[in-house]
Structure 1
Amino acid sequence: MTRPVPDPGPRPVRLAFTDVLRLGLLGIRTRGPRAALSALGISLGVATLVVVTAIPASSQRALMDRLSALGTNMLRVAPQADSDPPVVLPATADAMAARIGPVTTASAVANTHRTVLRSDLADPSDAAGVSVLAARTNLLRAVHGTVRSGSFLSAATARFPTAVLGSRAASRLGFDRVRPARETGHGPWHKSEQESGQVYIDGHWFTVIGILDPLPLTPDLDASVLIGWDAARDQLRFDGHPTVVYVTARESRIEAVRDVLPATVHPQLPGLVQVSRPSDALAAKRATQQTLSVLLLGLAGVALLVGGVGVANTMVVSVLERRREIGLRRALGAGRGQIRGQFVAESAALSALGGCAGTALGAAVSAGYAVSRSWPVVLPPLALVAGVLGAVAVGVAAGLYPAVRASRLPPTEALAAV
């Protein structure tokens, strides 16, 4: 005789993922003020993580930019001065150097061995020590130079008799800034107005179109008058061979570029070509960058730990104080899985909201501080992503343990716990 199988009773309904998510969001909406305070605690922890990593990153970038301005990526190529006979670089030496892969800029100057005077009546000794150099139009980019007044040589002006003065050359020749020539009439007065913005080079008048700021990386150019390459050929019978080539390259490859430069710019006699060694600032920059990178990594780890503890504490308190609600739902028939799902979803949603708000707050504070210190704004993507995902992960982990523990309590004990 077969015994009847006892009825196991009603089984709890299995909730879909969307139902669990809606239930979690409902818990946030019904507990608006408390949920807002919980999200505020999470957002402050995440904001701390972003600020602690972003502000040092901005400071590091500003320091690296200042060190780069010291010529960490620049090399100077010139023939040996004591060679006999003298070595002459090819006319296309700068173009040959530009074909090296890591090179970003290659420019050149050439000594024309001409004399510059303030006017055709000036004493030749007045401009002693001022050299006349033919220059490529991209020279300023290669030597990290800036124009104090006027403009530098361009593709248009370099073909005509125009000149740009170095800072010391301008002082020696009596120029403080570039003044545009005025057309006041005809005759001698007209000539006098025009000559006030000109210099006299080897029997030719050159109009001054710019004055440079001091060049700390290439001080020899401060006492120079720079004219266009084509103008030097046409007016001064310049032979077109550069005397110095300036090269900038990617810092990570600067040593490799230095090794191949002599054979590149002068394949016939590479041993008679001198290349300056990389700036000492490059070694200092690399050491500083490595130290700061380790420091930033340590700060990020500490900030993540502090922020995680804050998020976990907020979520644990938020769940434990609702044990009465958990007991009531258990008494009404909710299963343990439903309880766990509801509170995990609520913890994830609350942590995501707090993480997004904290990331935005931390980014705004970091950007504002960087701008106030005239630093470049640097927001590490890893910190931004870790802020949101870390908040969600820690929030879920912090909400899961007390939810599981409370879901295992008998309904009467859970109701009596508070």
Structure 2
Amino acid sequence: MAEHPAYPVGLRLTGRRVVVLGGGQVAQRRLPALIAAGADVRLVSPEATPSVEAMADAGEITWERRGYADGDLADAWYALIATSDTEANERASAEAERHRVWCVRSDDADRATAWTPATGHSEGVTVAVLTTDAKGRDPRHTAAVRDAVVEGLRDGTLVAPHHRTRTAGVALVGGGPGDPDLITVRGRRLLAEADVVIADRLGPRDLLAELPPHVEVIDAAKIPYGRFMAQEAINNALIEHAKQGKSVVRLKGGDPYVFGRGMEEFQALAEAGIPCTVVPGISSSISVPGAAGIPVTHRGVAHEFTVVSGHVAPDDERSLVDWPSLAKLTGTLVVLMGVDKIGRIAETLIAHGKSPDTPVALVQEGTTAAQRRVDATLATVADTVVAQEVRPPAVIVIGEVVAVGRPGTA
């Protein structure tokens, strides 16, 4: 049999008996897929790993706590033999042959009548990779091929265009803090499928260079405003392109709903009857401090962190931030869009009880090749920003966690 390649096929196991012999690590890896396929799984094994036992306790499988006995495979459609008892494996394999039950053997692929492929999933597609013969089986190679194909489908680097009619609409995609590798898999795939991309200045710009030539890329900062406010003009651009039957991605920095006006755009699209998908992104409020070695929480130091916008000063009547209350908190304060207002922010926090010696870190262009970290205290931060020429975009972290993550400190 080894002289011929295996014949690939997809088994429809819903409601059909599958017998698994052995409750160890092999069964633990294989059972979830059999359960997901809707199989009637019968496990025969005197022992099982805690994870397999939990599947039995949840009623996902039927577990008979004993060793293999002749006749166990009589009603099976498919069998997985994975015990440590070679003699039992041989007897079970012979029974499978007699009853014409396709049988996988974890201990001896040469004596099996079926092989388990390395499988992965992406958007309704199952990728299954089989080696060509038992003699040359290399599980690591087949797994690597599987991973490469699935990753390519997910991130759009392996182009597999849909030939069915796509529904026009808009995806609000959080691009993450700046490093193109920190966008979600789903966000990257939607970018690869887009007809139009309307991008923010703070979105991961390197991703735009990877888009196919036919994709129209629009800089949101350069949309003509005319009689419209900037946000209204962006909303209109999203609606107009979607109404032309195009797949539109609104690429935003960080997360669409963390100071990204994502809900304003979602509401405008809903009012226009445009379908909209929201893809969360990694917020710079957490990722940028982490990239600079600062944990926003740390055992024994900070049990909370608060994220606020600093785009208006504390004494500005438009401010919705309760700065006096923030000064009384003992946790971490993360300020976004606050570089030019940090002097007044620091003064306000100190005036309401925050120690002037509270550590402060400013992380400019976090997660990118241009990232830099500047340290100060509440008392010195205003002068430090000027002296060090700190410029937006920068995330400001205020609290004792700054000292935890400071180079040269424990």
Whose helix proportion is higher, 1 or 2? 1
- TM-score (normalizing by structure 2): 0.25
**TM-score normalised by L of structure 1:** 0.25
Higher strand share: 2
